[in-house]
Amino acid sequence: MVFWEGYVSDETMGTFAPIVVYWVYAGFYQILPPLDQYRLHTRKEEEKRNLVPLGSVVKGVVIQQLVQIGAAHLLFLLTSTTAASEIVIQPSVPFQIVQIVLAMFVMDTWQYFVHRYMHQNKFLYRHVHSQHHRLVVPHAIGALYNHPLEGLLLDTVGGAISFLASGMTARTGVIFFCFATVKTVDDHCGLWLPGNIFHLFFANNSAYHDIHHQLQGTKYNYSQPFFPLWDKLLGTHMPYVLVKRAEGGYEAKLMKD
């Protein structure tokens, strides 16, 4: 039993809930006070180093999400095996957890290799992936600020493959897609907040991904959004140390393995 049952279908929730979650969670970070003591970059750095204004970032995210809506609708249309009036029997909670964990590893695998290739292929980096790196200092709203082609290949197709490979139902997909959205936003929030649950359970977090956005770290820490597994296996893992800045906040500094 879920709160939307009887109001909207699981497929509709799977299409629109991740988008709502994105703007609610990213908006939460946007309206927070400056929190200079927890920032990975100063506000002055963010204003000076980022190459795209917030309005353009919002526009870029909305374009990607429109593509995402169409792809999700097609995915659920093709995978639905029951009529709208029929009840889908959901697997047990432990089995759904296994499916979600499997989907996490599948998504990580897809995104690692596509992401890394977009850095290695000079044409794709210059004309596609470099759009995301215009945000040298990441922030939550810009988590999905990508070239439309990258948004389709990396996020939308990656999500669809994860959904299909895990064999999850549309209802489980709602949970997985929303969780992946929250995790992606948090990885780009630019903050190291005490008690952040993602920092406690995931080595791949806001500081880890911040290294990748730094000029000297662009060839490292490709893994996203969950685990640093492929970076460690394939030699692209760059550990970091968090150093307190005299003026407040933290700096994620690269260190050798």
- The pLDDT value recorded for residue 255 is 81
Contact 105, 221 (CB under 8 A): no
Task: For residue 221, count CB atoms less than 10 angstroms from its CB and return exposed for 0-12, middle for 13-18, buried for 19 or more.
Answer: buried
Distance CA 92, CA 8 (A): 22
Q: What is the pLDDT of residues 71-97, one digit of tens each?
A: 999 999 998 876 555 788 999 999 999
Q: For the chain, what percent of residues have pLDDT higher than 90?
A: 91
- The pLDDT value recorded for residue 8 is 95
* Local confidence band at 132 (pLDDT 50, 70, 90 cut-offs): very high
Please count the other Cβ atoms lying within 10 Å of the Cβ belonging to residue 154.
24
Q: Residue 7 gets which letter from DSSP? A: T
Distance CA 132, CA 147 (A): 7
Please count the other Cβ atoms lying within 10 Å of the Cβ belonging to residue 145.
26
- The pLDDT value recorded for residue 84 is 57
Strand partners, 252: 242
pLDDT (average), residues 107-124: 98
- The pLDDT value recorded for residue 196 is 96
Across 173-177, 233-237, 242-246, least confident range = 242-246
Contact 228, 208 (CB under 8 A): yes
Give the torsion through C-alpha atoms of 102, 23, 116, 240, to 10 deg. -90
DSSP secondary structure string for all residues of 136-173 = SS--GGGGG---HHHIIIIIIHHHHHHHHHHT--HHHH
Residue 129: closest CA among 142, 144, 120, 118: 118
pLDDT (average), residues 65-76: 96
* Residue 17 pLDDT greater than 80, yes or no: yes
Token pair listed for 78 = 């093709």
